[in-house]
Chains A and B, each alone.
Chain A
């Protein structure tokens, strides 16, 4: 099962938790100095370290179809930068499709694990299992003073980045998110948009991650992050309570209209999809509606993204055709959910 199809802890505020470990092999340069032959060698080495025997599957990403690559980006399984690469690169995924190892991304290896809801421990443990398998058979670049050596000096040390995707409708509606964003550096967090670096927050989704990677242990990074995002979650929940207390009718109207559109619209574009998703998810979180669950909504959002929808259709679609198919998927999924 993919991460978004399962129910995770604290799903009202946390959509997903992703852990990433940056690792590199000692004998190879980074791009642009890495030759194609070198990249192929790295891919082969990682492929044999994380073999089929251990339950890993290999996907050559080099010549892969664009829709397939983009669909993995939409599922948050690989980075947007990785999908755009034209030089040799590959992905190794584990059996339950929760650990994804990107080979020849910015670093030679990016070991990622993504879990539904807030589960940094679970994600870190799973990523560590892949890390240990790699460490057992490959010579990983490490320095006793600097820690794991990475392409970008900002990732030195643990090479660990924990990112949580938070759903913050109340902080978005009230505008409080701006003041929170201004104070993030004080609590050691950075914020990114929905789809990664430089992107805007859509669907009231915000991605927070740790800033510091060196001079702290992995456990310290985890507990600092837990505390920092925990405080954001507290403010979000409190703001939801206040909103509901003072504007129940307006909120109820907004949620029910969004539900109505999902059930009956004939064409829906991506912008509207994000809006509908946010309104209905907020309705579920506030107890206004209970027709759908968080996994059903998160799955719908991803299933209705452009590339994933194209794969579902099995052929390339024009924008209006896609908007029509998106509305159709929404209608049928809502009917099934409400049965």
Chain B
């Protein structure tokens, strides 16, 4: 089916609108759907009502996702719409799959906070390595500034070894 707006491309977004009892059907290609969204004609009026967390999710700007191409979580197959409806994620991987979409909600819940607490052992090791690297780089900078080249060479080797791990 061709897009009813441009009559050129294949339609991928199908949308039915009923205003005051008058029904209008749209069959749009993704470009025309995006253009309509820009003209402030929201194709998907707030579908998430009800639960509190769900409504937190709903204030995420809704981009048009042609139904066929609706993004799914790589592990559990949940769509962002499903997450918004339940107010909870489908699996741990949803946080990666929908990082961008979840960001406004997480900001609202936790502010711009970044995790500072404990971490699983293997991350903890990585975290300490990163901290060590930062301190070595700082010392290297100082060594170069004070022209302590022998010390700088030693530090450079240490940094290389740490990066290589």
Contact = CB atoms under 8 A, between A and B. Distances in A.
Contact of A215 (B53, B95, B111): B111
A136 interface: yes
A152 B88 contact: yes
Nearest to B108: A153
A39 to B, nearest CB: 13
B45 interface: no
A67 B77 CA distance: 38
B45 to A, nearest CB: 24
B6 interface: no
Contact of B78 (A33, A136, A153, A218): A33
A153 B117 contact: no
A30 interface: yes
A96 interface: no
B115 A157 contact: yes
A212 to B, nearest CB: 8
B96 A143 contact: yes
A155 B102 CA distance: 14
Contact of B76 (A29, A146, A148, A216): A29
Interface in B98-143: 102, 105-106, 109-111, 113-121, 123, 127
B66 interface: no
Given A149-B92, A152-B87, A157 B110 contact: yes
Given A147-B117, A157-B115, A157-B117, A215 B110 contact: yes
A156 B110 contact: yes
A270 interface: no
B34 to A, nearest CB: 28
Most chain A Cβ neighbours within 10 Å, of B91, B114, B127: B91
Interface residues of A, number: 36
A264 interface: no
Contact of A158 (B78, B96, B117): B117
Contacts of A132: 121
A144 interface: yes
A68 interface: no
Contacts of A265: none
Given A214-B113, A215-B116, A153 B93 contact: no
B88 A146 contact: no
Contact of A30 (B91, B96, B113, B121): B91
Interface size class for chain B? 20 to 34
A218 B91 contact: no
B83 to A, nearest CB: 9
Given A153-B106, A154-B53, A215 B93 contact: no
Contact of B113 (A25, A33, A157, A160): A157
A67 B147 CA distance: 76
A76 interface: no
A28 interface: yes
Contacts of B117: 147, 157-158, 160, 216-218
B115 A33 contact: no
A253 interface: no
B73 to A, nearest CB: 9
Interface string A137-166: 000111111111101111011101000000
B153 interface: no
A135 interface: yes
B90 to A, nearest CB: 5
Interface string B43-82: 0000000000100000000000000000000011110000
A266 B95 CA distance: 57
B89 to A, nearest CB: 7
20 contacts: A25-B92, A30-B76, A30-B89, A33-B77, A33-B90, A136-B121, A143-B115, A148-B115, A149-B95, A151-B88, A153-B109, A154-B109, A157-B117, A212-B110, A214-B110, A215-B114, A216-B113, A217-B117, A218-B117, A218-B118
Interface of B: 53, 75-78, 87-93, 95-96, 102, 105-106, 109-111, 113-121, 123, 127
Given A33-B77, A147-B119, 10 more contacts: A30-B89, A30-B90, A136-B121, A142-B120, A157-B113, A157-B117, A158-B117, A215-B111, A215-B115, A216-B113
